[in-house]
């Protein structure tokens, strides 16, 4: 009986290792793509992705945030606070405030931050379905929709 239990434990451990390897590979592929799209070094690309995702999710409804997160790499989403800990009400802001938020997070000039935001949004859209991209766009004000669509 102990041997059967060990075998099950070994199977579970192997499954967990494969799952973890898949999560890391998916995230690494996303970061590689983002660095290629943006020209940013990997650490800055990672910080930019977290900053833009956090800002974007503050602007869309929680259900939309959950749907978006479901299609993005889990290790990227893990950098954000759990949805239950975030403010349930969406914050109303436009393109300028989003870009300024990212500029402040990344300690860079606003004009450079806008280019970074565009690259990150493009990388996000490359990861999600067209339908999800349309849903995100429909939850944004016109100026943020324009920024979102510039990346398509």
- Looking at residue 110, its pLDDT comes to 96
pLDDT tens for 133-151 read: 999 999 899 999 999 987 6
pLDDT tens for 5-36 read: 678 878 888 878 887 888 899 999 999 999 99
Which candidate, 85, 87, 111, places its Cα nearest to that of 100?
111
CATH number given to 2-150: 1.10.490.110
Which candidate, 97, 111, 116, places its Cα nearest to that of 59?
97
Torsion sign over Cα 35, 64, 83, 13: negative
pLDDT tens for 56-107 read: 988 988 888 889 999 999 999 999 887 777 776 678 899 999 999 999 999 9
């Amino acid at each position: 009986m102990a041997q059967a239990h060990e075998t099950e434990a070994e199977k579970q451990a192997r499954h967990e290792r494969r799952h973890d390897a898949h999560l890391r590979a998916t995230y690494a592929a996303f970061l590689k793509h983002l660095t290629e799209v943006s020209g940013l070094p990997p650490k800055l690309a990672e910080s930019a992705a977290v900053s833009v995702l956090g800002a974007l999710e503050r602007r869309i409804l929680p259900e939309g945030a959950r749907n978006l997160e479901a299609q993005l790499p889990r290790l990227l989403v893990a950098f954000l606070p759990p949805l239950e800990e975030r403010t349930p009400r969406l914050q109303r802001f436009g393109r300028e405030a989003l870009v300024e938020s990212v500029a402040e997070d990344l300690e860079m000039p606003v004009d450079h931050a806008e280019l970074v935001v565009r690259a990150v949004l493009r990388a996000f859209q490359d990861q999600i379905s067209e339908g999800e991209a349309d849903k995100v766009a429909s939850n944004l004000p016109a100026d943020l929709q324009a920024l979102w669509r510039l990346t398509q």
